[in-house]
Amino acid sequence: LLLRGDLEVGIGRDELRLHYQPVVAVADGHPIGAEALVRWEHPHRGLLYPDAFVPIAERSGLVGELGRWVLRAACREVAGWIAEGTVDRRFQVHVNLSAHELAGPDLVGEVERALTDAGLDPAQLVIEITETALASNPEIAEQTLRALHRLGIGIAIDDFGTGYASFTYLRRFPVDIVKIDRSFVTDVTDGPEQAALAQAIVRLASSLCLSTVAEGVERPETRELLAGWGCEHGQGWLWSKAVPGADFVTWMRRHR
């Protein structure tokens, strides 16, 4: 059983890590960014995934601290990659925020400080927020996302299509990127009915001038269908799983 105290100690001992999964152009696999995904290198239990500890952080009031760590670490690491020439200034790093984090007392200030301290351009940061998180407190979410958007930060809706009001969200919130949930992407090669939803989301996003990221692309046949529909960007094991920063740098050098 993991407890709040363990996580507090873990953060204090610098046991959190970021892994990165590339976001690529579906057409040619060219990397355009990466999603940062937090892990906890627990001294006894090994590498823990967010499902194992983000909920604890949320329940125990540690999520602000966790989120600040993630934001600052991601901005710092990407600024380093720019400095060493691994990525260019169009590269975007995606950071996931939970509903609690989005409603934090000074989230906008914290994001601004993370960018300034790292020397990173706001246009190089994308905030990912799930539909469920938007639904839990839409007033605060709207206000906060508008402020972030005004700073030039990109806003992505994560797991798009799994919520109850997907279309409404696109109108209400300042969305730049729609991430098509993996559940719609996995079976597009099974037949036209399975493909219809993913294709409809791509069309919808494109008619609103939003960019799309298809999640969970595992097979070349899936990539081909997505490319044919004009889905711009993708993420998935076809290109790379999420890997530690050092391995991501190696991957980038091979794919630039």
Q: Contact positions toward ligand G, by CB under 6 A? A: 21, 37-38, 49-50, 54, 70, 96-98, 101, 158, 182, 215-218, 235-237, 242
Instruction: Give Dmax (Cα) for the chain.
Output: 51
Q: Residue 20 in contact with residue 245, Cβ under 8 Å?
A: yes
Contacts of 235 (CB under 8 A, 6+ apart): 21, 22, 23, 24, 35, 179, 213, 214, 215, 216, 217
Rounded Cα gap, residues 231 and 214, in angstroms = 7
Q: Residue 199 in contact with residue 206, Cβ under 8 Å?
A: no
Give 118 or 129: the residue with its C-beta nearer to Mn ion: 129
Taking CB under 5 A as the criterion, the residue among 158, 160, 210, 248 binding Mn ion is: 158
- Nearest to residue 103, comparing CAs of 62, 154, 137, 58? 137
Of these partners, ligand G, Na ion, Mn ion, none, which one is at the site of residue 50 (CB under 5 to 8 Å by kind)? Answer: ligand G
Closest distance to ligand G from the beta carbon of 21 (Å): 6
Residue 35 interacting with Na ion (CB under 5 A):
no
Closest distance to Na ion from the beta carbon of 198 (Å): 14
Residues 144-173 that bind Na ion (CB under 5 A): 158-159
Closest distance to Mn ion from the beta carbon of 180 (Å): 12
Element (H, E) at 21: strand 16-25
Give 87 or 213: the residue with its C-beta nearer to ligand G: 213
Give 6 or 158: the residue with its C-beta nearer to Mn ion: 158
Q: Residue 154 in contact with residue 122, Cβ under 8 Å?
A: no
Q: Which residues pair with 34 in a beta bridge?
A: 22, 93
Residue 96 interacting with Mn ion (CB under 5 A):
yes
Give 6 or 101: the residue with its C-beta nearer to ligand G: 101
Closest distance to ligand G from the beta carbon of 250 (Å): 18
Residues 113-152 that bind Mn ion (CB under 5 A): 128
Closest distance to ligand G from the beta carbon of 209 (Å): 23
Give 23 or 87: the residue with its C-beta nearer to Na ion: 23
Of these partners, ligand G, Mn ion, Na ion, none, which one is at the site of residue 172 (CB under 5 to 8 Å by kind)? Answer: none
Q: Phi first, then psi: what are they for 82, rounded to 5°?
A: -65, -45
Closest distance to Na ion from the beta carbon of 128 (Å): 7
Rounded Cα gap, residues 83 and 69, in angstroms = 21
Rounded Cα gap, residues 128 and 155, in angstroms = 6
Q: Residue 94 in contact with residue 36, Cβ under 8 Å?
A: yes
Closest distance to ligand G from the beta carbon of 57 (Å): 8
Residue 212 interacting with Mn ion (CB under 5 A):
no
Tokens read off for 222: 């899936």
Interface residues with Na ion (CB under 5 A)? 158-159
Interface residues with Mn ion (CB under 5 A)? 96, 128, 158
